[in-house]
Amino acid sequence: MAALSALDEKDDKGRFVRTEATFRDWISKDHPVFKPEAGRYHLVISWACPWANRVACVRKLKGLEDVIGLSVVHPTWQRTKPDVDAHAGWAFATEDQVFASPNGSGKFQLKGVIPLPDDVVPGAKFVRDVYEATGNDPKKYTVPLLWDKLTKTIVNNESSDLIVMLNSAFNDLAKNPDLDLDPPETRDAQADLNSWIYPTINNGVYRAGFAKSQFAYEEAVTELFASLAKLEAHLADNRFLCGPKLTLADIRLFMTLVRFDEVYIVYFKCNIKALTDFPNINNYCRDVYQFPGVADVIKMDHIKTHYFTSHPTLNHYAVVPVGPGFVEDLKLPHNRAAL
């Protein structure tokens, strides 16, 4: 199998079909190998990626910055092995490096990239190199990933696992061990919510944006806006998805919503309405954004640069739209505290 990127994953009706994550080990005190330890694990993310952003957010909210290392890739995908195949994917960079898009358009230099330290995979230039260093090459090189420096492998590369793990496994080391984003009494409700929010909203925007047929696009965008209407109604009398407290389900959802009016409405053709046309969702986004720590992990320059500059088949000249400034809106007062 050739190296894949999200743009290659489709079924015979032109639908985008996401490949399952391949590394699914679990850090816990009871695990024979993967024990919670400070300085042992290293997280690789992009500030642009909604899945990776969830994990960066939980790391921040739990106060795990001194416990789990962090590298942040450049948002503009690069050709990883131009002499071997056409794959384009995530590349490590320093803040002074300037990258063009995979077809050579534009010049993009970003604050907030963090190179990979030598004690992870020495000499790795791309996320692809990190996957290949495991000896178990999945041919799809996604972020987030959590690297174990002791056994020199990827422990887990699935955001929905990693956020649960970071919420509980490192509590003896975390600055905020008492913040529980996954209380047992909310788990059934979270699972119910995720069962429609993941396919139709989180993955729904990608199903619309990476559709390779009119049929697949319309199917996805219709389901997406039906779910946004359902969400608007749900948020009329619930401050957060599961009631008065922020949970992992909110972090999962918010990372998609915060990208909506800046990226998905234009780039993924999710334009039946804007998010700001849904008053409850809009106020909810302000509320989540203003939860202490969340704003620190939202980097809209990385988000916009990534999407608009990484896929030459969708945006040949890598021109990045200027508007609409959704993050400024998120700083405004909201009406959710009374709920």
Ligand X SMILES: N[C@@H](CCC(=O)N[C@@H](CS)C(=O)NCC(=O)O)C(=O)O
- Give catalytic residues, as residue numbers: 49, 206
User: Among 27, 44, 49, 154, which residue sits at the site for ligand X (rule: CB under 6 A)?
Assistant: 49
* Binding piece for ligand X, criterion CB under 6 A, among 117-125, 158-166, 230-238, 327-335: 158-166
The reply to whether 56 sits near ligand X by the rule CB under 6 A is no
Stretch that binds ligand X, among 138-146, 223-231, 289-297, 324-332 (CB under 6 A): 138-146
Binding residue for ligand X (CB under 6 A) from 76, 78, 159, 309? 159
Stretch that binds ligand X, among 33-41, 102-110, 137-145, 273-281 (CB under 6 A): 137-145
For residues 46 and 304, the answer to whether their CB atoms sit within 8 Å is no
The only residue of 47, 131, 141, 225 in contact with ligand X, by rule CB under 6 A: 141
CB of 44 to ligand X, least distance (A): 10
According to the binding rule CB under 6 A, does residue 6 interact with ligand X? Answer: yes
Rounded CA separation 27/31 (Å):
6
CB of 334 to ligand X, least distance (A): 27
Q: How far is the CB of 5 from ligand X (least distance, A)?
A: 3
Position 258 contacts ligand X (CB under 6 A): no
Instruction: Give the residue ranges of the annotated binding site for glutathione.
Output: 90, 140-143, 158-159
143 contacts ligand X (rule: CB under 6 A)? yes
**Please, what is the minimum distance in Å from the beta carbon of residue 279 to ligand X?**
28
Instruction: Looking at residues 288 to 317 of the shown chain, list those that interact with ligand X (rule: CB under 6 A).
Output: none
Among residues 129, 132, 148, 158, the one that binds ligand X under rule CB under 6 A: 158
Which residues in this chain contact ligand X in the complex, by CB under 6 A? 5-6, 21, 49, 51, 89, 140-144, 158-160
